[in-house]
Structure 1
Amino acid sequence: MDHLLPTTMSSSFLAAFLLLLLLCLCGGLNNNLVTAGGDDLSFVFSGFAGAAASLTLDGTAAVTPGGLLLLTNNGTSIDGHAFLPALVPFKDSPNGTIRSFSAAFVFAIISASADLSSDGMAFVIAPGTSFSNAAGSQYLGLQAGSNSTNGSHFFAVELDTIKNPEFHDVDYNHVGVDINALSSVQYHTAGYYDDGDGGAFKNLSLWDGEAMQVWVEYDGKSTQLNVTLAPMGVGKPSKPLISNTTDLSSVLLSADRAYVGFSAATGPMSSQHCVLAWSFAVDGPAPPIDYSKLPKLPNPDDGQRAALTKSLEIALPIAAFALLFAACVAVILLVRRQMMYSELREDWEVEFGPHRFSYKELFDATEGFKSTHLLGVGGFGKVYKGVLPRSKSEVAVKRVSHDSNQGLKEFISEVVSIGHLRHRNLVQLLGYCRRKGELLLVYDYMPNGSLDKYLYYGGEGEGKEGSNSKPPVPPLLGWAQRLQIVKDVAAGLFYLHEKWEQVVVHRDIKASNVLLDGAMVAHLGDFGLARLYDHGTDLQTTHVVGTRGYIAPELSRTGRASPLTDVFAFGTFLLEITCGRRPVSGGGGRKVMLVDRVLEYWHKGALEETVDPRLRGNYNADEARMVLTLGLMCSHPFPGERPTMRQVMQYLDGDAPMPELTPANVSLLSLMQSQVSFDQSILQYPWSVNSMASMTGISVGR
């Protein structure tokens, strides 16, 4: 900053003035003017060279030697914040109205892919600068989770490059106005109204790597908010992109001052969120930015070119013999390294979205896939715990061989389906890697593991490979925890069936595919058998896949997986988690069906006697009876008698009364004799004649 211009100041803003003076003395704001006087405050950064000490930075935010404010670097699942340390006086008194203000800034989002981008960034006004508990990805470093504001308030203008259904985003490239939450009060596809073309609207891509201008103007008297966007080289358009009446009083409540700055976050893909210049003023227009002093945007090739030049400067003076020897050694090491970390890449991978990890990164994260990192072993392969070297994030790496039961087809299915899904009750796929002979999927790490180990401690498949020691006894799941897990899985399944842009049939719902995070929130995972199709289209015939005890009867007859076949498996899951028993139990040739047992007690009017005896009666009898009844409804052999997941959610949330199950005089044997649709292939799957007869003798009162 060349100079600081104080005017006559009121005592209420003396602290703000002294703080700005301290910033000037400690490092200055380079050529940037700051004016604080009376009830006014304004500043301008025409580039940020030498201004790092004049900003409050956290996360990955940093000022480069060239004067560029980088909110995020090329990392994944990170966030960064940059705020002016001085509190800005937005009110004349704590209970007054918000004063007028104006902001202008130049930004750029540089994505690792020309076709895809990570999440966006935002201009922020907030009473505090502590966002340490905020999440990255779609939460932009401002919220801890959906419908949460970390106990604070904020006003934000988001520049978002991801369409998040939970926030009702309009598209993958939009500008939004957020008040205390990330569900925008108003939004618009990114673009501007070109005065030189008769005011025609022209689209802009927020992540094309080019610098753009943004103006944010608020009239305190009329509460009129205008947000305007334009590319560099174009003056401010006369028509704003967003214009609405927005009272910002709820942001500050009883406070009279707030901080101004920026926030940004990345998800599974890497991006750089850059701010090149910034100006701001209260009760007046933002000072003009000197565009001739803007810093240069980073060039991805610059680092490689500099490293190559330095290597040549060191290598050239070396004697010819030593150079030849070193080259030979380097070639040998390079060939061995490429063989060790070689990967496969094909054209189809470009469009599927999730971040691609290098094999070396996953190898290092798991310490060479050590047995001490092994989380589990199954028909699909092995799962390891890892820590990514750059972000230090804990992940789970599923390692699948090409000749396993889950081969290339299932791998692609999982990448296509879960790679685009975003829901708090689905396991988030962070990325993948392909290598000759094996496939690797990278997920969010779930510290509490799979649900089945809490239901069946001491069962098969527990413990780590090569270890004779028994795993620690997991804590008993109380009834409240079980009911919440049921609701979590139901919410995830409802999202798959009806809320996403396509219908996703999971086809393998079971306790071992339900994972629990550190807060015991359930996440449905393992989408290797999932099938996708458009809403309203006919189902396609497929192979009968799944797990014994969870496969719907009609699947063996038609070969068509549908949302109702998932509902059948969910019904088995409801009985399983309530009774603490496996769907099929017993040894030798005698198999005992869990649904048989529950039906038997239902006929006797003693459903509560099937509840897990380990609960020792510590459960809500009405809730347990409701879940068991709902399990029987979902497990009905006729798909038309099963509820949809929308109805299941209504029953679980108490938004609709549970139908009553009433006996009906229907005999399965006579039904099988009179209808050709039942054939002997049904008997290949684990439904006993007793359960089929009993269930077909049940009707659901609608």
Structure 2
Amino acid sequence: MQLLNFSLAIILSLLFLGVEASQDGFIFNGFQSAKQNLSLDGIAEFTDNGLLKLTNNTYNSGSSHAFYQNPIPFKTPSSSNFSFSTTFVFAIRSENPYRSSQGLAFVISPTEFLPGGRSWRFLGLFNESTNGSADNHIFAVEFDTSMNPDSTDINDNHVGVDIYSIDSVNQTPAGYYDNHDPEKFHNVTLMSGDPIQAWVDYDGGNKQISVTLAPLKSFSGRKPNFPLLSFNYDLSPVLLDSMYVGFASSTSAYVVNHYVLGWSFMLNGLAQNLDISQLPKLPKKGGKKKLNYFLITGLPLICLFSIIAGVLGTIYYVNRKKKFAELLEDWEVAYGPHRFKYRDLYKATKGFKDSELLGAGGFGRVYKGVLPTTKLQIAVKRVSHESKQGMREFVAEIVSIGRMSHRNLVPLLGYCRRSGELLLVYEYMPHGSLDQFLHGPRKSHLNWYQRFRIIKGVASALFYLHEEWEQVVVHRDVKASNVLLDAELNGRLGDFGLARLYDHGSDPQTTHVVGTVGYLAPEHYLTGRATTNTDVYAFGAFLLEVVCGRRPIEQKARKQDMVLVDRVLWLWSQGRIMEAVDPSLGTNNIVKNEAELVLKLGLLCCNSEPEARPTMQKVVLYLDGAMALPELSSSSLLGGGIATKSMAFDSVTSFEDVSVSSYSFLTSSTQYSHASGSILSGGR
């Protein structure tokens, strides 16, 4: 009898303090006496008045978790079908409400804590290795107040359902639907600092997940008639027999406090309604206001100072707005996720300082930068473009290219437009361009294995552009300076499609050929049209350049320019093609059959007849050894693009006797000259 009275007293005391708990559910109307019921880690803590505070007033201090200490038996030996319901009241307060920060998440996890959960974009739920893995068995509903450019976030104020990954399977802007008109949507600002109530329900019978949201002030604990988000998904494979329920959050570059005021959960039933009157109060916004006698007595001086500061501030604002002015037209709204703010790019590149300059060439100047929010290293290309003709189509192409995903393409992250200028944002490649390793100060730093891997990577990228992407993309400027090397020295093809910008702004009265001398196919000079065949020709010149370590055309001081493709062809005709290999590689450090294959393939790609050149699909098969390279013959290689006087090689005593003027691709019909300016040459 005494034991029964003692147990009854404990239960009554818990009810009085706003805490009820059972095996399948619980309710906390505040957390004044819940310390023994919840397990905290990271920077989570309880306040003196009973708030669960997930984050504190610190920057970048990591992640935090708060879990109900007892596991919930979602599945039993007799049944694996389950449902659950939960509701909670939370508030997010930021030091700077105008800058996006991290949110919080309701989470169901197989462990009481989430070791290794990273902050920033992962909300303390995952890290680089666990994100996207079905082995983590994590279900979460995020209330996110930031938009990460490297994830699928729709904006910086959304609700999403995360299963196994921080990339939500379903998400929607935060808000609620009118009780009388389900078509009428009301926004809710998650970072307003005001209490917001959320409901998360899972119907195991219908396999349906529903999330509902409402401001506590407007609804006073009443659930809206229509859910904010509802869709079908079977959670049986996701959740294990026993799981822990709780919350996760993380900090960022801005001070943000995440609070939970009350929480109710029920398995296979409806969660109890929270008693709004028992919930603890949030701290007053801005803290206590004190009357300052000095402000009253010094009011005239303060007013004068305010006027002066206002005038100076206005001047500063006008000048700053002019400095960071962007060109934004109505049709660009649809490209919002791909458009960067000029202000962010300006800060990332330290004001486009010369110290951050990576290079300059025919397509503009390239600067290194670090995005201030994500710390992602980027390369920003500034391209001058005065004409508006075709800009809409070109931006559409940029956005389309930004959706490409291939390991040997330089990722194009987005763009920014200003008057007369277009800025393209790429992922930064730490080792720079390949031409620096072939002809610059880092010459001979690449061995044969690395060169051959780069060649195969660029071939794979061109095959992707020509045949595997949803549209045919002609690169138009394949060359060593447009091949960048990542941290592992893998070749990444860049600047694909950029030449189209010059077509949009060209003068219709002039012949306009875009490309680089030495890589241009003969028919490109005559017609000005770029095709996949002209890309193959340029790739052939690129192959010879990588293997030989020499530029496609080298200027001689006393003799006429040397054309690399003709030199290799001449050596092949003499049975000495391996003499073309870069001497810096050393005879013992190359794979002879691979080097000979690349040299012959380069000649085949540089055939003067476009239809005689192989497709990039065949090129990839040749390089992989999946298809044998056809035997080369004089008849298959002779032509304007290589050498019209190759038939006379028997009477030529050395390659020096063969001059550039001998070849038909420099005939008078092309009207080519270095001074014409119709061919854009040079690097990036």
| TM-score for both structures, normalised by structure 2 | 0.60
Q: Does residue 660 of the first structure (1) align with residue 660 of the second (2)? A: no
Which has more radius of gyration?
2
Deviation at 1:544, TM superposition (A): 1.5
CA contact (8 A) 2:367 2:381 kept: yes
**Deviations along 1:468-492, whole A, 9 cap, x unmatched?**
xxxxx58823344334434544454
Which of 495, 499, 508 lines up with 1:526 in the alignment? 495
1:346-385 alignment runs, 5 A limit: 346-348=327-329, 350-351=332-333, 352-353=335-336, 354-359=338-343, 361-385=344-368
Deviation at 1:512, TM superposition (A): 2.0
Per the alignment, residue 11 of structure 1 pairs with none
Per the alignment, residue 129 of structure 1 pairs with 114
CA contact (8 A) 2:62 2:118 kept: no
CA contact (8 A) 1:388 1:395 kept: yes
Which of 296, 308, 311 lines up with 1:331 in the alignment? 311
Structure 2 vs 1, CA of residues 259 and 368 (structure 1 numbering), >3 Å: closer, same or farther?
Answer: same
Which of 534, 545, 562 lines up with 2:514 in the alignment? 545
CA contact (8 A) 2:518 2:552 kept: yes
SS in 2 for 1:573: helix
Per the alignment, residue 652 of structure 2 pairs with none
Deviation at 1:84, TM superposition (A): 3.5
CA contact (8 A) 1:44 1:278 kept: yes
C-alpha separation between the residues in 2 aligned to 1:455 and 1:145?
Answer: 36
Per the alignment, residue 672 of structure 2 pairs with 684
Per the alignment, residue 569 of structure 1 pairs with 538
Q: Does residue 592 of the first structure (1) align with residue 573 of the second (2)? A: no
Q: Which structure 2 residue ranges, 5 or more long, are not aligned?
A: 1-6, 8-13, 93-99, 502-509, 645-663, 675-684
Per the alignment, residue 511 of structure 1 pairs with 480
1:95-106 alignment runs, 5 A limit: 100=82, 102=84
**Deviations along 1:588-640, whole A, 9 cap, x unmatched?**
56222333344445556665554444333434445545544554454444443
1:27-426 alignment runs, 5 A limit: 35=21, 40=24, 83-85=65-67, 89=71, 100=82, 102=84, 129-130=114-115, 142=126, 144=128, 149=133, 154=138, 215=200, 217=202, 225-228=207-210, 242-243=231-232, 248=237, 283-285=267-269, 287-288=271-272, 290=274, 323-324=303-304, 327-328=307-308, 330-332=310-312, 334-335=314-315, 338-339=318-319, 342-348=323-329, 350-351=332-333, 352-353=335-336, 354-359=338-343, 361-400=344-383, 402=384, 416-420=396-400, 421-422=402-403, 423=405, 425-426=409-410
The count of aligned residue pairs is 590
C-alpha separation between the residues in 2 aligned to 1:622 and 1:121?
Answer: 58
Deviation at 1:547, TM superposition (A): 1.5
What RMSD, in angstroms, separates the aligned Cα atoms of the two structures? 6.8
C-alpha separation between the residues in 1 aligned to 2:453 and 2:102?
Answer: 30
C-alpha separation between the residues in 2 aligned to 1:650 and 1:474?
Answer: 29
C-alpha separation between the residues in 1 aligned to 2:548 and 2:265?
Answer: 64
Which letter does structure 1 place at the counterpart of 2:412?
Q
SS in 1 for 2:114: coil
C-alpha separation between the residues in 1 aligned to 2:359 and 2:595?
Answer: 31
Q: Which structure 1 residue ranges, 5 or more long, are not aligned?
A: 1-6, 8-27, 110-116, 297-301, 459-472, 533-540, 687-702
C-alpha separation between the residues in 1 aligned to 2:437 and 2:641?
Answer: 42
CA contact (8 A) 2:518 2:553 kept: yes
C-alpha separation between the residues in 2 aligned to 1:215 and 1:81?
Answer: 23
CA contact (8 A) 2:85 2:267 kept: no
CA contact (8 A) 1:315 1:323 kept: no
Greater CA drift, 86-95 or 323-332: 86-95
**Deviations along 1:170-204, whole A, 9 cap, x unmatched?**
xxxx99988757899x889999xx9x99xxx9999
SS in 2 for 1:356: coil
Which letter does structure 2 place at the counterpart of 1:227?
I
SS in 2 for 1:575: helix
C-alpha separation between the residues in 2 aligned to 1:244 and 1:442?
Answer: 37
Per the alignment, residue 451 of structure 2 pairs with 482
Which letter does structure 2 place at the counterpart of 1:684?
Y
Deviation at 1:329, TM superposition (A): 5.8
C-alpha separation between the residues in 1 aligned to 2:633 and 2:161?
Answer: 56
Deviation at 1:548, TM superposition (A): 1.6
CA contact (8 A) 2:161 2:171 kept: no
C-alpha separation between the residues in 2 aligned to 1:670 and 1:565?
Answer: 11
Which letter does structure 2 place at the counterpart of 1:428?
L
SS in 2 for 1:665: helix
**Deviations along 1:59-100, whole A, 9 cap, x unmatched?**
9xxx9x9x99999xxx9xx99976444677477999999784
Structure 2 vs 1, CA of residues 336 and 202 (structure 1 numbering), >3 Å: closer, same or farther?
Answer: closer
C-alpha separation between the residues in 2 aligned to 1:207 and 1:590?
Answer: 73
C-alpha separation between the residues in 2 aligned to 1:202 and 1:512?
Answer: 54
Structure 2 vs 1, CA of residues 644 and 217 (structure 1 numbering), >3 Å: closer, same or farther?
Answer: farther
C-alpha separation between the residues in 1 aligned to 2:270 and 2:294?
Answer: 50
CA contact (8 A) 1:567 1:644 kept: yes
Deviation at 1:545, TM superposition (A): 0.6
SS in 2 for 1:551: coil
C-alpha separation between the residues in 1 aligned to 2:584 and 2:561?
Answer: 23
CA contact (8 A) 2:107 2:140 kept: yes
Which letter does structure 2 place at the counterpart of 1:429?
L
Structure 2 vs 1, CA of residues 368 and 183 (structure 1 numbering), >3 Å: closer, same or farther?
Answer: closer
| TM-score for both structures, normalised by structure 1 | 0.59
CA contact (8 A) 2:27 2:264 kept: yes
CA contact (8 A) 1:427 1:524 kept: no
C-alpha separation between the residues in 2 aligned to 1:265 and 1:203?
Answer: 34
C-alpha separation between the residues in 1 aligned to 2:599 and 2:351?
Answer: 45
C-alpha separation between the residues in 1 aligned to 2:665 and 2:547?
Answer: 33
C-alpha separation between the residues in 1 aligned to 2:70 and 2:167?
Answer: 26
Q: Does residue 618 of the first structure (1) align with residue 594 of the second (2)? A: no
C-alpha separation between the residues in 2 aligned to 1:46 and 1:664?
Answer: 88
Deviation at 1:582, TM superposition (A): 2.1
Per the alignment, residue 551 of structure 2 pairs with 582
C-alpha separation between the residues in 1 aligned to 2:578 and 2:630?
Answer: 16
Structure 2 vs 1, CA of residues 136 and 285 (structure 1 numbering), >3 Å: closer, same or farther?
Answer: same
Which letter does structure 2 place at the counterpart of 1:451?
L
Which letter does structure 2 place at the counterpart of 1:663?
S
Per the alignment, residue 24 of structure 1 pairs with none
